[in-house]
Amino acid sequence: MKARPRCVRRSQDPAAALRAALCAFALLGCAAGSRAQATEEEIVQNPAVLVVGASPGTASAGATLADVQPDFEPLSTAWAALNGAVPNLHISESGSGGYGALFAARGLANTPYFGDPAVTVYFADIPLPSSFTYPEGLFGFGSANVFLGPRGTQFGRATDGAVVVFNPDEAARAGGQAVAGAGSFDSRFAALAVSTDPHGGADATVCAEYDARSGYVQNQQLGISVGDQDNVDAFARLRLRPWSGAEVSLELLDTRSRDGAQPVVPLGGPLYSVSRAMEGVTDLDSFGAALKGSLPLPGSARLTAVTSFTDWRMDPYSSFLVIPPPLTNLVDQGQKRWNEELRLQSDPRGAVRAEAGAWLSRGTTDNFVLRAIPNLFPIEGSSFAEAERTAAVFGEATAEPLEGLSLTAGLRAEAGAKDFDRLEQVPVPGLAFDGSDRYGVLLPKLGADWRVGPNDSLEVAAAEGIRPGGFSSFTDNPALIPFAPERSTQYSAGWTRTDAGQSASLSVTAFYTAIGNLQIERSFSATDYFVANAPRAHSLGAEAQARWKPSAHWTIRLTAGWTRVLLDEFNAPLTGLNESGHEAPNAPAYNASLVVTLRPGGHWYAEGEATATGRTYFDELGTSMYTQDAYGLLALRWGYEAGPWSLLVFGENLANAGYYELIVPGVNSGMPGAPRTFGAKVAHRF
């Protein structure tokens, strides 16, 4: 019997960390209870930046609220909208749902296939555990709150990059809307949303959508398109108000994708044409549910509890690449999570405003992979099972010792554990690995907000964050399988100015992040694909948001973010070469967006948008082959509204810019971005 290597890491005693935090939260609870009055609970608090339709504020301690055009757009275009609307937030879609996609915030990017995300996503009260579970399309979510930086003192599920919360549309009356559309590449879209009267003892909302299109890439050998998409999604929410101030809600989220092969093309060749003997498929199914109760307590405090469950399955993902040699990939993967999130809130109008919470999560991930050279032999056949447990207590309190000056202090205590088992059949039959990881951390936060007169405000904040460690499956070298937790400390400062008439506003933020054990994922050799840790790294950057309404008819919005992430200490795991001083991969140097909207007061409106994305490295060496140079996109939209009917005509990437949405160095391939597209959608409200 072969020995089973075992890896156990301990970074801090979890019990000691939790005991220390409980003492701190007892003090917070006393402060909250002494000045508590009734307040309406929401999972997202105090949005400070409204990118569309209101003036922005700094993102250092606040949030960005971005309009995702709920009348016409499924969530797949919401990712693109957030790319431009939020500085230093970047999403590189993989063409296979979230599997293999990259989500980066202020230079911190997720590892696409292993580990926890850098950007956490909530759909209403349903948290999604991993970036590969983020769906492509969804309807009925009208806005998104984006919280940049570590947010562990505000959210149960949070890592070190950002938290994005998609909010359901809130109907003002009973009714709904139906939407249909079509466009380039045989795209078609249909959606229906219905809501009952939101007033009274109960209300319900049901949204469903279908969207599909042909792929942008053509396989010349087979005469078919590559990257076809076919998505069906539904969301439902039932809310009951058994007595004044109390509410119970049930949310259900279901997504189904039956896509073609991932649109992968060899680097250096044509963007939208390939020639290969076969293609693959990507089948994704996910289900999520949340049961939420919000109750008033004596002293006008409020207690909220959310129990949530998610079940995601990819069965299968298959692809065919000619590297050379020809290589087939078959991946079957599933993930389940149970979560419990508790919150206690005090009066937001009190001299001390506090919120404390607790988070519990348990889940499993299973995976099977088979890679083979067709008609010859397999080169890898392995499977893994991972069990994960996380517990945290968190909270923050805000006081105003002087008029116009607010001080915030927060703390999160988190303990987690992962157990990992890998079994290989090819190339070494029966090769096994068992691993365990335990950690416990305390993550403080401090912030200050100073209102300097009626039109200006200053913010400073410092917060620590963590992204848990984990295990890489696509290597049979035991020393390369485990990777350590990533720790970060982010310092930020921001200034916001809004004119007295609210016709213009400007927000500027600067930040610096010290990072320990930065997680980097890529193929370091032909057979080893894993996550490595850079012991020391840092990111620094700046962000600007501006809005100007020169007249009643015109609105101009500008967003820009710049980030640089450097590896201060890193040796390549296999070669031992010192790669310190290089830029970290997977985050663009900058992003920017300029949107000009004309609403002349009649039935029609027009909008033009120009976006720019800076140079992006997809390996830590800055290899030219694995680098996407800066590129820009241009879009125009025209709409007409008449009573309950509305029409939207749009053109995207009008200059037909060619670029890679994502590059995968391990297979010398990339996913091209969408070419020039046109379309139209019509909506009817009832």
Summarize pLDDT for 409-461 with one digit per residue, the tens: 999 999 999 999 999 999 999 999 999 999 999 999 999 999 998 899 999 99
Which of 106, 92, 101, 95 shows the shortest CA–CA distance to 128?
Answer: 101
- Predicted local distance difference test score (pLDDT) of residue 529: 87
pLDDT greater than 60 at residue 33? no
Adjacent-strand bridge partners of 162 = 119, 148
pLDDT greater than 90 at residue 52? no
- Predicted local distance difference test score (pLDDT) of residue 159: 93
Displacement of CA 402 from its chain's centroid (Å): 37
pLDDT greater than 70 at residue 615? yes
Domain spans, the chain? 12-685
pLDDT band at 545 (very low <50, low <70, confident <90, very high): very high
- Predicted local distance difference test score (pLDDT) of residue 70: 53
pLDDT per position as a tens digit, 72-108: 666 667 777 788 789 999 999 898 888 999 999 999 9
pTM of the model: 0.90
Q: Where are the beta strands (DSSP E) in 170-228?
A: 175-183, 187-195, 202-213, 217-219, 224-226
Measured from the Cβ of residue 324, the count of other Cβ atoms closer than 10 Å reads 9
Adjacent-strand bridge partners of 683 = 179, 646
Dist CA 423 CA 476 (whole Å): 9
pLDDT band at 171 (very low <50, low <70, confident <90, very high): confident
Mean pLDDT for all residues in the chain: 88
- Predicted local distance difference test score (pLDDT) of residue 7: 47
- Predicted local distance difference test score (pLDDT) of residue 1: 32
What is the pairing mode between strands 281-296 and 302-322? antiparallel
The domain 12-685: what is its CATH number? 2.40.170.20
Write out the DSSP string of 402-440: ETTEEEEEEEEEEEEEEEEEEEEEESSTTEEEEEEEEEE
Residue pair 157/120 in contact by the 8 Å Cβ criterion: yes
Q: Is 325 exposed, middle or buried (0-12, 13-18, 19+ CB in 10 A)?
A: exposed
26-35, 431-440, 441-450, 664-673: lowest mean pLDDT where? 26-35
- Predicted local distance difference test score (pLDDT) of residue 14: 40
Residue pair 570/610 in contact by the 8 Å Cβ criterion: no
273-282, 521-530, 540-549, 576-585: lowest mean pLDDT where? 521-530
Q: Which residue has the tokens 């999130």?
A: 341
Adjacent-strand bridge partners of 494 = 459, 509
- Is the Cα torsion angle 146, 179, 633, 132 positive or negative in sign? positive
Looking at the chain, the whole-number percentage of residues with pLDDT higher than 70 is 89
Write out the DSSP string of 201-212: SEEEEEEEEEEE
pLDDT greater than 90 at residue 176? yes
pLDDT per position as a tens digit, 249-305: 999 999 999 999 999 999 999 999 999 999 999 999 999 999 999 999 988 889 999
Dist CA 345 CA 98 (whole Å): 34
Displacement of CA 265 from its chain's centroid (Å): 25
Over range 575-601, report the average pLDDT. Answer: 95
pLDDT greater than 70 at residue 335? yes
pLDDT band at 662 (very low <50, low <70, confident <90, very high): very high
Dist CA 407 CA 131 (whole Å): 33
Highest mean pLDDT among 141-150, 171-180, 624-633: 624-633
- Predicted local distance difference test score (pLDDT) of residue 466: 98
- Predicted local distance difference test score (pLDDT) of residue 504: 94
129 SS3 class:
coil
- From residue 681, give the alpha-carbon distance in Å to each of 82, 178, 334, 644, 650: 21, 11, 35, 14, 9
Write out the DSSP string of 553-590: SEEEEEEEEEEEEEEEE-B-TTT--B-TTSBPSSS-SE
pLDDT per position as a tens digit, 122-144: 999 999 999 999 987 778 887 88
* Residue 314: its H or E element: strand 302-322
- Predicted local distance difference test score (pLDDT) of residue 88: 96
- Predicted local distance difference test score (pLDDT) of residue 266: 95
Dist CA 159 CA 361 (whole Å): 14
Over range 375-384, report the average pLDDT. Answer: 91
Q: How many CA atoms lie within 13 A of 322 on its CB side?
A: 10
* Residue 81: its H or E element: helix 75-85
Dist CA 258 CA 56 (whole Å): 39
